Amino acid sequence: MGTSVALKISGRNKLRGKVVNVTPGIVTAEVEVDIGNGNRITGVITKNSLDEMQIKTGDEVIALIKATSVMFIKE
């Protein structure tokens, strides 16, 4: 990723992209990020995190995913 922040976190998967959609709920919020190459990452975070970080469409963000949360499909 090459970012100073991302390099300091043990979560192994850091995918940089641009926010394309935000859906706020009461407790949670959905954030959709275009990471290029036709891929999108959707995350559900707390509404409080959304508000404090002021995440909005167009923002550059990094999706962070712990390796133990990843499964694989082999067709």
Q: What residue ranges bind its own copies (CB under 8 A)? A: 3, 5-6, 8-15, 23-31, 33, 35-37, 39-46, 48-50, 53, 55, 59-75
CA distance 53 to 69: 23
Shortest CB 66 distance to its own copies, Å: 6
Q: What are phi and psi of 17, to 5 degrees?
A: -165, -170
Task: Give how far the C-alpha of residue 58 lies from the chain's centroid of Cα atoms, to the nearest Å.
Answer: 13
Shortest CB 42 distance to its own copies, Å: 4
Q: What are phi and psi of 14, to 5 degrees?
A: -130, 110
Shortest CB 61 distance to its own copies, Å: 5
